[in-house]
Amino acid sequence: MGILDNFRVDGKIALVTGAGRGIGKASALALAEAGADVVVAARTLEQVEQTAAEAEAFGVRAVPVAFDVFEIERLGELVAVATEQLGGLDLLVNNAGGSFPKPLLETSVKSFEKAFSFNVTTAFELTKQAVPAMLARGEGAVVNISSAAGRLPDRGFSAYGTAKGALTHLTRIMAADLNPHVRVNAIAVGSVATSALEMVLTDDNLRQTMEANTPLRRLGTPEDIAAGVLYLCSPAGSYLTGKILEIDGGIESATLAMGLPDLEPPTA
């Protein structure tokens, strides 16, 4: 068997959240191209239907599910779709997440807790729901999509950065709990050219600034991350668990400052 065969996931069944676009879609398509059947979930039905159609072009089965991961008590239904319609579950990509930056003193407890729930609690609960189905098939692999924001101090990211930092460490703890049959790893992504980032890049100057502040002098693509997802899910990554794969262009600091001013004491 050649080395490239280790990147095949033929016969595996995957569940990818946030799979309607961006990193989630690219990850689902990478797994499908490598041979996995996929359940693709996101809030917008039209988007996941498109992802499923593109996945099926690789000759695998794909099931689109319109689902909001904020309905945490229903996350087990996604696992049920995989087991009932595709026959089981082997691979889970916890991709759904996000949060908009905001100055610390303007970040409410509600928005802070919402960021934590969206980025951490959903991955925690969906992994719990998925593990019995994985063990029923002998083994499994989980990939959490985290962020460089979880390790880099940057103004405006108290909610998102804290949540991603928590997801990063949750990955290590879940790996310890689930050894040796279910591997759990994460990818800490840098600045990736997705539709979410395009909302921030309102002009070419901002993009050029981010590129200039990235050692590799470009933004990442969803496919850059998807390649890492495939590696961690496939036999090629079978000796990794509890690890954080940093796919970020080499950054060690924020690539685009939010421009938030210093807090100053009131003048007399």
CA 165 to chain centre: 13
Residues 6+ apart with CB under 8 A from 119: 97, 98, 99, 160, 163, 164, 166, 167
Helix residue ranges per DSSP H, 57-198: 76-81, 109-116, 122-136, 158-178, 195-198
CA angle 81, 20, 203 (to 5 degrees): 165
CA angle 168, 169, 170 (to 5 degrees): 95
160, 189, 194, 255: the catalytic one is 160
160 is catalytic: yes
Contact 81, 72 (CB under 8 A): no
Q: Which residues are catalytic?
A: 160
